Amino acid sequence: MLSLEQVKRSLEEAGQSHVLHFWPELCEEDRDSFLRELSQLDLKGLRDHCEEAAKAAASPTDILDQHLEPLPPQSIGSVRKSDQESLAAWEHEGLLQISKDRVGVLLLAGGQGTRLGVQYPKGMYNVGLPSSKTLYQIQAERIRKIQELVDVKHGSKCTVPWYIMTSEFTLAPTEKFFKDNNYFGLEPSNIMMFEQRMIPAVTFDGKVILQGKGKIAMAPDGNGGLYQALVDNMVLEDMKKRGVEYLHVYCVDNILVKMADPVFIGFCVSKGADCGAKVVEKAYPAEPVGVVCRVRGVSQVVEYSEIQPETAELRGPGGELVYSAGNICNHFFTRDFLQDVAQKFKSQLKQHVAIKKVPFVDTQGNQVKPTKPNGIKMEKFVFDVFSFSSKFVVFEVVREDEFSPLKNADGAATDSPTTARNSLLAQHCRWAVAAGAKLLDEHGNDLLPTTASVSAADKGPAQCEISPLVSYFGEGLEPLLKGKTLPTPFILSEERAKELQAP
């Protein structure tokens, strides 16, 4: 730990001496913890961080339209447009790599559930499924199921290690939640949680914001803080020791995420890619999602705010959007590529500006909860490494099957607990009907295959939920459900599946 004199000198050099304004008022214990926090800051880089944040916030957004071009067709794969033979070959390749313990998954879980209106990590959120499962439980059970499918197919015992990047806010509650739930049936030694770095929030005139008299307002450095965190926590060394060559990286809030998706992994491996991104077709030109495309010949994600409406509306000869590859934070990386990023490129990652309402203490020491944005949080994005890739590919998937994020509290039009829950239930209705089951509503009336999975304005799809421990992606249901009439709500748990299997 640094001495008070060392910290004072560094803060003065950075033009941030106001940080110690309330030092005389702090008790001994608070002084100790504040000094420890300040010692962990990158004090040498603090002046640059604050100046760059203020400058970036004042700069106009780049308009990139004249430099944009769509991705070349040879680098794109698609679930919808590929033949069954190709999809089967990619799946076979992916399952083979998993069977050899070469595949890991990495969860980006640094954000709190603030927009959801909760004070705990998003992964602990229960969207109101009949089973009451949380996002973490659903994801853990999908890992268990893919391991089981691979073991049956290849006659071997495989492991898909789960790396979970948390932040200062989410690490302790996430660790406790997993422990309290017996790691959802996974082997604890195959789950590694680690923290990303925190960086100070800054005012528009480049001053570090004090959250309390002895506390700086800190924020996670964005999901692009992954690459520094891999180094800080020796994650790449752990992957190497386990023989993990390929990593599936995804965001915690997508209730439909396919963990270690063998089709995606197989596609990327077959193409010799070092970096890949799953995308969904944009629903409409102005949909607020980033677009995967090329800028000045280099693959990257361009934020929707950086594209003019007329460019977003451009259509090809078949009427399809020219810039339709919507980014869903679902990526493939080789370990070698991540090693390169960690060693050569992470310092070149672009910083993005997020303007936020940051609680602070005023010069009189009063706690203030601002009603309008007053601070800048600088973030890096996980996808900004695409430009460093030597073989980048994109894989288009069907939104209804694979993407329904949880971002907003109920009442919002999109990305809420209700929309996430309905997406999963609708998918499970489609699986049950495809397996030959007939679903009944709560009054015992037939639900037609065409309407069972459709969300009506006043109520969601039929309450049919299938445990990931029974089916990873709709497979294996026919022997259980064909010819069966199922009153809803219906939960197909492991126990229920055994009953249905019984002669």
Q: What CATH number is given to the structural domain containing 424? A: 2.10.10.100
Q: Quick one: 334 and 454 in the same domain?
A: no
Q: Quick one: 348 and 384 in the same domain?
A: yes
Does residue 76 fall inside a structural domain? yes
Q: Quick one: 466 and 337 in the same domain?
A: no
Over its length of 503 residues, how does the chain's per-residue pLDDT go in tens digits?
Answer: 889 999 999 999 999 999 999 999 999 999 999 999 999 888 888 999 999 889 888 888 777 888 999 999 999 999 999 999 999 999 999 999 999 999 999 999 987 777 888 889 999 999 999 999 999 999 999 999 999 999 999 998 999 999 999 998 899 999 999 999 999 999 999 999 999 988 999 999 999 999 999 999 998 888 999 999 999 999 999 999 999 999 999 999 999 999 999 999 999 999 999 999 999 999 999 998 999 999 999 999 998 888 899 999 999 999 999 999 999 999 999 999 999 999 999 888 888 888 999 999 999 999 999 999 999 999 899 999 999 999 999 999 999 999 999 999 998 888 999 999 999 999 999 999 999 999 998 888 888 766 666 655 456 788 999 999 999 999 999 999 999 999 999 999 999 999 888 76
Q: Quick one: 423 and 395 in the same domain?
A: no
Q: Quick one: 287 and 370 in the same domain?
A: yes
Q: Quick one: 270 and 329 in the same domain?
A: yes
Q: Parallel, antiparallel, or unpaired: how do β-strands 103-108 and 246-251 relate? A: parallel
Residues 6+ apart with CB under 8 A from 472: 142, 145, 146, 149, 258
Does residue 245 fall inside a structural domain? yes
How confident is the model at residue 457, as a pLDDT?
Answer: 47
Q: Quick one: 311 and 454 in the same domain?
A: no
What contacts 24+ positions apart, CB below 8 Å, involve 19-24?
Answer: 19/208, 19/210, 19/216, 21/210, 21/363, 22/210, 22/213, 22/214, 22/361, 22/365, 23/214
CA distance 386 to 332: 11
Is the peptide bond between 489 and the residue preceding it cis, with omega within 30 degrees of 0? yes
How confident is the model at residue 40, as a pLDDT?
Answer: 86
Q: Quick one: 234 and 292 in the same domain?
A: yes
Q: Cβ(325)–Cβ(293) under 8 Å?
A: yes
Count structural domains, the chain: 3
Question: What tens digit of pLDDT does each residue of 74-108 get?
Answer: 999 999 999 999 999 999 999 999 999 999 999 99
CA distances to 41, 208, 395, 474, 490 from 484, rounded to whole Å, are 61, 63, 36, 16, 12
How confident is the model at residue 447, as a pLDDT?
Answer: 80
| Domain around 11 | 4-44
Does residue 260 fall inside a structural domain? yes
The number of beta carbons lying within 10 Å of the beta carbon of residue 495 is: 12
How confident is the model at residue 394, as a pLDDT?
Answer: 98
Q: Quick one: 152 and 279 in the same domain?
A: yes
Does residue 409 fall inside a structural domain? no
CA distance 167 to 113: 13
Residue of 303, 279, 283 lying closest to 413 (CA atoms): 283
Q: Quick one: 169 and 300 in the same domain?
A: yes
Task: Compute φ and ψ for 488, nearest 5 degrees.
Answer: -105, 150
| CATH number where 266 lies | 3.90.550.10
